[in-house]
Amino acid sequence: MPRRGGNMKVKAARVIITGASQGIGRAIALEFGRRGARLALAARSRPALEELAGLINADGGSAIVIPTDVTDADAVEHLAQEAVSELGGIDILVNNAGIGITAPIGDASSADVEAVFRLNVLAAAAAIRAVVPTMRAQHDGMIINISSMAGKVVIPRIGYYSASKFALTAIGDALRMEEAHRGIKVMNVFPGTTRSNFGENRLGARGRQAHQRFPPVTAEKVAQRIAQAVERNQRSVYVSWIPDRAAVAANWLAAWAVSAVLRGWARRAET
């Protein structure tokens, strides 16, 4: 794996990015491509992936397209095998594919809840299992899980989404402890509200949510922070001090106050 002073370099790294066709995944692909990574782009939409790969390759980068439904375990295994065949190995997996849901815990449809956990948790875990054998054989590798600030602070009306991101964070933390002696590193990323089409694709209610009180950051800023964090070997990545880090600190120091504020937002959302 490309290294700099014991830390990984994005340049020349062989990278799988799931959910690469839009939003944060697309921004990560463009940022990593500019930095010289060799990319395997995965999502369901071949045309969107081919358009993205064309941009990356035209800009001097290197990207191949592997259309994949990551909720299909066999397809995920094929993705890993194709990446190894085409790139010669896998240095980084970016577990980015995900979906949101806005609905009270007692009102969400079972189909929506299952869809959220299938994509946000089970598919991500399947991708990890698919790439870990290659990384173990290399004695090197990095798993990057795109969690959420909702995976650090429980937020009403997106409780199922929050739970899925808490689960993904826990998987990443456990994986880090289990695989560190084999040279595999794990990074959990906690973006706050991001300017992308993520909200348009979420399940349940649409529109601006009560907790979205601060201007969103761009997907490009999230991608830049992740690229920097790879080379600094960071375990946890936050995009902004305010509100992201401040919210985590407030929740740790005065969870009762944070909970009171969120309860108020939840009540107002019902009116």
> Domains of the chain: which residue ranges?
3-246
Catalytic residue among 160, 161, 185, 238: 161
238 tagged catalytic:
no
- Judging by DSSP bridges, how do beta strands 3-4 and 7-8 pair with one another? antiparallel
Distances 51 to 36, 107, 207, 233 between C-alpha atoms, Å? 18, 39, 29, 31
DSSP 21: T
Catalytic residue among 160, 165, 185, 238: 165
Q: Report the DSSP beta bridge partners of residue 151.
A: none
Q: What distance in Å separates the CA atoms of residue 174 and residue 253, rounded to the nearest whole number?
A: 25
Q: How many CB atoms lie within 10 A of CB 180?
A: 11
Q: What distance in Å separates the CA atoms of residue 48 and residue 181, rounded to the nearest whole number?
A: 38
Cis peptide before 243 (omega within 30 of 0): yes
Query: What values do phi and psi take at 61, rounded to 5?
Result: -90, -170
161 tagged catalytic:
yes
Q: How many CB atoms lie within 10 A of CB 30?
A: 21
Amino acid identity, position 203: L
Fold of 3-246: Rossmann fold (3.40.50)
Q: What is the pLDDT of residue 39?
A: 98
The tens place of each residue's pLDDT in the chain, 271 residues long, gives 566 556 789 999 999 999 999 999 999 999 999 999 999 999 999 999 999 999 999 999 999 999 999 999 999 999 999 999 999 999 999 999 999 999 999 999 999 999 999 999 999 999 999 999 999 999 999 999 999 988 888 888 899 999 999 999 999 999 999 999 999 999 999 998 766 565 567 798 755 554 455 567 899 999 999 999 999 999 999 986 455 544 444 444 445 454 555 455 445 555 5
